[in-house]
Amino acid sequence: MQTDRLIAALAADANTAPRRIGPVLTLALLAALPVSVALFMSILGMRPDVRTAMHNPFFDLKFVVTSVLAFTAIVVSLHLTRPEASFDRWGWLLVLPVVVIILGVTAEMMMPHQRPWLTRLIGNNAMACMASIPLFSLPFLAAALLALRRGAPAHPALAGMTAGLLAAGLGATLYASHCADDSPLFVMVWYSLATAFVAAVGAFVGRRVLRY
Amino acid sequence: MRGRDEEWTGLMRAANAGDAAAYRRLLEAVTPVLRAATYRGLARAGQPVDQSEDIVQEILLAVHLKRQTWDATAPFAPWLFAIARNKLIDALRRRGRRVFVNIDDFSETIAAPAAGDTLSPGEVASHLDGLPQRQRDVLRSIAVESASIKETATRLAMTEGAVRVALHRGLASLAAKLREP
């Protein structure tokens, strides 16, 4: 095939404008939402004392951490769909959820406590947390990877990793309303481990499916 | 260089607004630059330079299929060269070489050697046979036999809309086949 003929074919296809990735990613995540919520409600459901728990700032802080993670990871993911985008320039955004949780841990440390810090850290639901967050993240991860396939990332594994982070952020937001452990120490350790696992899965799959 | 970049950016904006002629002019303008850069990249990697046209075609396909990732407020050239670099590295890797492409290969290219008028069908065309029949017929008609969409529709007894769909899908499948190791 002559290159000028290929160009003619591409020009003939010029008006089939591909959709931008931002709206596609939003739609994909909205489509995954009912799936994750259904999974969550049928397996766990919210904790029974959710109304009183809402008055506990450390309960609310969990949602701040997980939604900041989801939001920043969405922003970074969208940047990484551009071939010339560099992770160095945008990746620092992912430090924000870490800052929030560290502030939370510091705040809790300064309060008087009956329970020793190790008890709070270990909590009661560590294993459930480690299993649940990846499970509820999965629909979001699949949706995000599917949408991001329209992108042209320079580093597919990195793009997959941020897709994993955003999925974990959304999955953990659901799980947080069930989890009875509200200590920021617990969140810092177990939520992070679960998130790292989802991010690793995202990187592994992304390396294969996000190449262009 | 600045003038060239601004011209490309302007053409791509016009293309996004639906100006197919501007789009074609843009692709024709970038091709010699891509060709020269690919040629240099191959030579530097110690690879036979006769594959450069295949890689240029791969780059053009990727540019076409990923053009929604270009941010219209950003200059076009860095985006283009990022894709070109990625495709060149990919092509070298597929040929079993781990090479680092010099960024300079894609930054200030002036030289534009004429297209090697190859008789070989090339790597892109060799994948045509693997496509579903509709896509293959439409792509052949437009990209090999130089027919327009209208002529192709008449020839294949399809609607113009169906030709457009088959063309778009065919280009996407071609790119997917080229990605396979």
CA distances from A15 to B54, B64, B135 (A): 25, 11, 18
If you average pLDDT over every residue of chain B, what do you get? 84
Beta-carbon count within 10 A of A202 CB = 30
At A80, which helix (H) or strand (E)? helix A57-80
Q: Is the pLDDT of residue B117 over 60?
A: no
Question: What value does the mean pLDDT take over residues B68-81?
Answer: 93
Residue that is written with structure tokens 């929604």 in the block: B68
Question: What value does the mean pLDDT take over residues A135-162?
Answer: 96
pTM: 0.88
The reported pLDDT for the residue numbered B119 is: 44
Closest-CA residue to B50 (of B118, B97, B128): B118
CA-based nearest distance B121→chain A, Å: 5
- Picking from A7, A19, A20 by the largest number of B CB atoms within 10 A of its own CB, the best residue to mutate is A7
pLDDT category, B122, cuts 50, 70, 90?
Answer: confident
**pLDDT tens, residue by residue, B144-163:** 888 888 899 999 999 999 99
Using the Cβ of A208 and the Cβ atoms of chain B, whether some distance falls under 8 Å is answered with no
Of A132-146, A183-197, B15-29, B92-106, the one with minimum mean pLDDT is: B92-106
Using the Cβ of A14 and the Cβ atoms of chain B, whether some distance falls under 8 Å is answered with yes
Q: Kindly give, in sequence order, each residue whose CB lies less than 8 Å from that of residue A142, ignoring residues fewer than 6 positions away.
A: A32
Helices B76-94, B52-65: inter-axial angle, 10-degree rounding: 130
Q: Is the pLDDT of residue B125 over 80?
A: no
Q: Which has more pLDDT, A55 or B14? A: B14
Q: Is the pLDDT of residue B51 over 70?
A: yes
The reported pLDDT for the residue numbered B1 is: 64
How far apart (Å, rounded) are the C-alpha atoms in residues B63 and B142?
19
Which residue in chain B is spatially nearest to A81 when comparing CA positions?
A: B69
At A197, which helix (H) or strand (E)? helix A192-209
Q: Which has more pLDDT, B99 or A34? A: A34
Q: Is the pLDDT of residue B104 over 80?
A: no
Q: Is the pLDDT of residue A1 over 80?
A: no
Nearest to A152 among B24, B62, B171 (CB): B62
The reported pLDDT for the residue numbered A122 is: 83
Nearest to A152 among B66, B128, B142 (CB): B66
**pLDDT tens, residue by residue, B22-38:** 999 999 999 999 999 99
**How large is the C-alpha radius of gyration of chain B?**
17
Question: What value does the mean pLDDT take over residues B128-153?
Answer: 89
pLDDT category, A88, cuts 50, 70, 90?
Answer: confident
Using the Cβ of A89 and the Cβ atoms of chain B, whether some distance falls under 8 Å is answered with no
Question: What value does the mean pLDDT take over residues A165-182?
Answer: 93
Size of interface A-B (CB pairs under 8 A): 121
The reported pLDDT for the residue numbered A87 is: 85
Question: What value does the mean pLDDT take over residues B164-168?
Answer: 92
If you average pLDDT over every residue of chain A, what do you get? 92
Show residues of chain B in contact with A5, CB under 8 Å.
Answer: 142-144, 146
Contact A148, A158 (CB under 8 A): no
Closest-CA residue to A169 (of A93, A71, A61, A100): A71
pLDDT category, B108, cuts 50, 70, 90?
Answer: low
Q: Which has more pLDDT, A197 or B94? A: A197
The reported pLDDT for the residue numbered A132 is: 93
Q: Which has more pLDDT, B170 or B116? A: B170
Which residue in chain A is spatially nearest to B23 when comparing CA positions?
A: A11
Q: Cβ of B68 and A4 within 8 Å?
A: no
- Domains of chain B with bracketed CATH: 1-111 (1.10.1740.10), 121-181 (1.10.10.10)
The reported pLDDT for the residue numbered A180 is: 84
Show residues of chain B in contact with A18, CB under 8 Å.
Answer: 65-68
Q: Cβ of B142 and A152 within 8 Å?
A: no
Q: Is the pLDDT of residue B95 over 90?
A: no
